[in-house]
Structure 1
Amino acid sequence: MISLQNCCIIDVGTHHTDIIPIVDYAQLDHLVSSIPMGGQSINDSLKKLLPQWDDDQIESLKKSPIFEVLSDDAKKLSSFDFGNENEDEDEGTLNVAEIITSGRDTREVLEERERGQKVKNVKNSDLEFNTFWDEKGNEIKVGKQRFQGCNNLIKNISNRVGLTLDNIDDINKAKAVWENIIIVGGTTSISGFKEALLGQLLKDHLIIEPEEEKSKREEEAKSVLPAATKKKSKFMTNSTAFVPTIEYVQCPTVIKLAKYPDYFPEWKKSGYSEIIFLGAQIVSKQIFTHPKDTFYITREKYNMKGPAALWDVQF
């Protein structure tokens, strides 16, 4: 799937999560770590939030497209209160006091509420409630619980990743590993899960310069600049262009997900009518591992020469 000299694989399974550091293409067996938490941990958390639901309904919710992990920014923009995730929520009740104090007609408020529930093409995070279908074909309505259940798992994974990668002796190798985080496993297909885990890693482990020290260093750097440069810098969009950066001995100063290789990029804009040709090309690529494409016919060659391109195939 991916070939990197230095990386860290986070494999989120059903009942456990493995953290596997790789240095110089070799797995560091003595640093491989595992925590007894995985996709089932999300189910257990949701069960506490929705005790009236059975296990099949919980699993269906987790696999539904409306179940996602919101970023901190998305939580702030959302109308939900995520301060207490264990808070009991009565989804069928109206805030009567709010309606009375608003001075508006009750019928108008109820009609507006009903219209809001029927609005289409609205972001999931902007909806107070949303629905999904379980395995038995029943339509189920759910509130803010569809954004909860993953926080505990994400925090524990982040903590264990930090403890594991701190044991890499070579500082340069450790930096390279932090810059190539690979997150795999069925649980990671949950919308927003990878981004939330990356955000937690940044929050817990990223080493940054304290704001006070940074401001002081910038002022000192500007004070030694010529007057003409200072005057010019007022009109520059980046006024700290001449301020030197600090290279920390500690790591990580950069944490990011590994970039996956891009195979057959020319097919990205093709429709499903060409999917058969693409499948044949992929099979040919697997059989003939030679880097040249002279062993099989590509779509470009076929478009140029048609069936006559077969005569150009060389082994």
Structure 2
Amino acid sequence: MPSFREDNFLIVQPGSQNTLVRFGIEDVLSPPAYSIPTKVYKNAQDTAYYTIKPQDESLAVYPIVKGEIVDVHGLNFLLKCIVRSILKDHPVLLLNSIAFTLVQTSNRWSNDAIEMITKYVFETLQFGAFSIVPASLCSMFSYGSLANACVVDIGYEKTEITPILDYQVYIPGIKVIDKGGNSINDRLGKILPDLTSDQVEMLKRSAIFEVLSEEDAKNSFFGAEQLVEKKEEDDGVLDVAAIVTSDKPTREILAEKEKEKRKSGKAAAESKPNSELETNTFVDNEGNVVSVGKERFQGCTDLIESIGAAIHCTLSKITDLKRAQECYDNLILVGQTSKISGFKEALVVHLYRNFVVGQGATSAQGGAFRDTNNMIQDLNLIQVPKHVKLLSRPDYFAEWKKTGFEDCSFLGAQILAKQVFNSHAVGGSFLREDYMEKGPLGIWHNRL
């Protein structure tokens, strides 16, 4: 296999909303260099062609919808635009020296679409090597060497649950539900009708939007009967002597007093946790300060319940109970929605409450029922899950601590690219020589 320089590795991860890009892999694996909209336009003069320049929105094309490639020609054109931008920065770069890794961000990509992309990569873009890897495998490799895991990818319009068994995607267990981050937006739009769609999105992304634990909910402003803030003893008491002796008008002194009261009230509010405030604020794209009440703790329940049921359905298809339990113990949540404070923890709590076996089954019932309890314990040994765990993110990728681990599939793609294009033993790379011999169908014999 010919050798490819790591600074000529191209990683592209196209999602329905944004496409992540990095050209060149460094010793320290870094987050994507660019995030661009997954959006092109039909040419106004000839709709058979595409352009990247903004046109009338009626000409806009979104190549990926709900994970499915609906316009492969539009996606190929987006790849071409990425290559053009790379060549502007590297004018002497030879296209056949580029090793291209494409992250397959959904199991809904059709075989025909993948083969058309493969043909475009070699015949139009003229790359030297190509590898297409599932995002779920990339996510797993970003966490280390795990044989069995379950990857939950929460996208904008859909969520995919993918079990990994023995380092391979377990295809019969894949489940896709048509609910994602936009489900939260829809719910918030109904309970906050005065907010625009952009403001709803900004609220969801803000620090004040969170999923409260049961304990935090009980201790919150809305869970308590009444919260009475203690006031200072002299609050509201005017210093008459100060008014008489001051040179300032009485109206000005009263205004200053009111301003001080507002400042002290604001300081007290800022010292409280978000959950203990009746309202909190965020700033929208136009710089407006928007105040939100209890609605900032709502909107995620339906999505959490749907994902929990889908995880259980998926892992119930694994006949090897030991490996199924390992998948429950190695849950990986990815996607920007998983960044919402308290979301991951709420999902684990939901799984425990609804699907973990043996919860309370062996409670003390007296000596007469001891044999029954032992039988229940024996039955639990052949049932899963007994427990559920979220994988802890590795702490040795320093560059990713700043950006978060929600796009860890991109990190895993870099790790796999190093292995695929630098090792003869791993496999997974489709070279130009292989393509000339086998054509687009050869991609199925040379992929992970």
Q: Shorter-chain TM-score: which interval?
A: 0.5 to 0.7
Residues 1:145 and 2:145 are matched in the alignment: no
Inter-partner Cα distance in structure 2 for 1:69 and 1:125: 10
Aligned twin of 1:57: 199
Question: Do the aligned residues in 2 keep the contact of 1:21 with 1:177 (CA within 8 Å)?
Answer: yes
Aligned twin of 1:39: 181
Q: What are the equivalent positions in structure 2 for 1:69-218 lying under 5 Å apart?
A: 69-81=211-223, 116-119=265-268, 120-210=270-360, 213-216=362-365
Provide Cα deviations, 1:174-208, integer angstroms capped at 9, x if missing partner. Answer: 11111111111011111111111111111111112
Question: Do the aligned residues in 2 keep the contact of 1:17 with 1:35 (CA within 8 Å)?
Answer: yes
Inter-partner Cα distance in structure 2 for 1:48 and 1:81: 22
Provide Cα deviations, 1:101-129, integer angstroms capped at 9, x if missing partner. Answer: xxxxxx79x99998545422211111111
Deviation at 1:210, TM superposition (A): 3.1
Inter-partner Cα distance in structure 2 for 1:216 and 1:75: 32
Instruction: Report the 3-state secondary structure (helix = DSSP H, G, I; strand = E; otherwise coil) of the residue aligned with 2:287.
Output: coil
Structure with higher strand content: 2
Q: What are the equivalent positions in structure 2 for 1:222-233 lying under 5 Å apart?
A: none
Q: Normalization by structure 2: what TM-score? A: 0.46
Provide Cα deviations, 1:83-114, integer angstroms capped at 9, x if missing partner. Answer: xxxxxxxxxxxx9xx99xxxxxxx79x99998
Question: Counterpart amino acid of 2:322?
Answer: N
Q: What are the equivalent positions in structure 2 for 1:279-298 lying under 5 Å apart?
A: none
User: Which segments of 5 or more consecutive residues in structure 1 lack a partner in the other structure?
Assistant: 83-94, 100-106, 222-244, 268-282, 291-315
Deviation at 1:29, TM superposition (A): 1.1
**Identity across aligned pairs (percent)?**
40
Residues 1:254 and 2:387 are matched in the alignment: yes
Inter-partner Cα distance in structure 2 for 1:182 and 1:10: 6
Instruction: Report the 3-state secondary structure (helix = DSSP H, G, I; strand = E; otherwise coil) of the residue aligned with 2:363.
Output: helix
User: Which segments of 5 or more consecutive residues in structure 2 lack a partner in the other structure?
Assistant: 1-141, 229-235, 238-257, 371-376, 400-414, 424-448
Deviation at 1:261, TM superposition (A): 2.6
Judged with a 3 Å threshold, the aligned counterparts in structure 2 of structure 1 residues 186 and 257 are, in CA distance, closer, same or farther, namely: same
Inter-partner Cα distance in structure 2 for 1:217 and 1:210: 14
Instruction: Report the 3-state secondary structure (helix = DSSP H, G, I; strand = E; otherwise coil) of the residue aligned with 1:160.
Output: helix
Inter-partner Cα distance in structure 1 for 2:366 and 2:393: 37
Residues 1:29 and 2:171 are matched in the alignment: yes
Question: Do the aligned residues in 2 keep the contact of 1:117 with 1:129 (CA within 8 Å)?
Answer: no
Question: Do the aligned residues in 2 keep the contact of 1:174 with 1:251 (CA within 8 Å)?
Answer: yes
Inter-partner Cα distance in structure 1 for 2:367 and 2:262: 52
